[in-house]
């Protein structure tokens, strides 16, 4: 894996400001799609050089290997998606992203598997699919943190079991990840996961959002969505939902372990301040 090039990496916000001026100056001179394609190529290369994993636009050869059906992004939406990803990844320590062992990040306009539509999919060999929706920053930011948490679990888990099975002649592996502390929270609370019946759940008590009621991995990933995008709102909900509060505390302790103390309570207090400041700036 290529090491991060901290000295050559330009803050995404600075690159966006420069790119915006570049776009406005050139829009009347040429084809809009071509201009965005040029900017997209530059942004993709910058991210790949910094984090050391490949970023591609779907469809790709992986689609058929995993029975996925995808549609391609147009250059404008793809560029907006890559800019969003750059901003969101910067919330993490660079070595955390590297140790997640992502091999490839594939961006698509839509994603289906077995007839179901998905916002993202994390495959067992370090390949992440992320759907980028046009003019929908909230969903796009949530998806990247959700899938990144799945990949982080793959990379950092200390307790896992793997089973081997075959589907249509293909040998596949399924890894189950365990978190005894998380399981204890559920056992004491009386809350049970709904598995495939998560949509039928009436109460959100104990969960960041309904999809988290499916299993403990989706529970953790949906909490990470809010923890990294709207921690102030999550903090407020924890005051009235003590089970969710215990899970958030457990999640922060796990992130602290993964990062050797970097992503601690102070880290998230600083993140709240930065997100609040950015929100006020954007509204202004």
pLDDT at 6: 40
- pLDDT tier, 225 (very low <50, low <70, confident <90, very high otherwise): very high
- pLDDT tier, 231 (very low <50, low <70, confident <90, very high otherwise): very high
The closest alpha carbon to 133, from 114, 107, 112, belongs to 107
From 116-130, 142-156, 172-186, 237-251, the region with the lowest mean pLDDT? 172-186
Angle at 133 between CA 216 and CA 99, to 5 degrees: 50
59: left (phi over 0), alpha (psi -120 to 50) or beta: beta
Tell me the pTM: 0.84
pLDDT at 195: 85
pLDDT at 138: 92
Helices then strands, each counted (H, E), the chain: 11, 9
Tokens of 78: 């793809």
């Amino acid at each position: 894996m290529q090491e991060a090039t901290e000295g050559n990496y330009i803050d995404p916000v600075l690159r966006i400001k420069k790119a915006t001026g570049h776009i406005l100056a050139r829009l009347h001179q040429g084809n809009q799609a071509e201009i965005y394609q040029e900017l997209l190529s530059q942004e993709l290369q910058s991210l790949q050089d910094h984090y050391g994993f490949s970023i591609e636009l779907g469809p790709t050869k992986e689609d058929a290997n995993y029975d996925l059906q995808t549609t391609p992004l147009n250059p404008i939406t793809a560029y907006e998606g890559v800019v969003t990803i750059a901003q969101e990844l910067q919330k993490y320590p660079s070595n955390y992203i590297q140790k997640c062992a992502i091999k490839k990040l594939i961006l698509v306009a839509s994603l289906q598997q077995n007839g179901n539509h998905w916002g993202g999919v994390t495959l067992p060999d370090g390949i992440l699919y992320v759907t980028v929706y046009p003019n929908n920053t909230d969903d796009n930011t949530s998806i990247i943190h959700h899938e990144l948490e799945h990949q982080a679990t793959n990379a950092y888990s200390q307790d896992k079991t793997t089973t081997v099975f075959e589907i249509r002649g293909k040998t596949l592996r399924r890894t189950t990840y365990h978190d005894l502390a998380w399981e204890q929270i559920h056992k004491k609370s009386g809350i049970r996961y709904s598995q495939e019946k998560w949509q039928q759940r009436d109460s959100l008590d104990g969960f960041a959002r309904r999809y988290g009621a499916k299993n403990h991995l989706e529970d953790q990933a949906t909490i990470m969505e809010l923890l990294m995008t709207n921690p102030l709102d999550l903090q407020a909900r924890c005051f009235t939902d003590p089970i969710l509060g215990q899970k958030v505390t457990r999640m922060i302790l796990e992130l602290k372990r993964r990062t050797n103390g970097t992503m601690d309570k102070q880290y998230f207090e600083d993140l709240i301040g930065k997100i609040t400041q950015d929100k006020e700036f954007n509204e202004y």
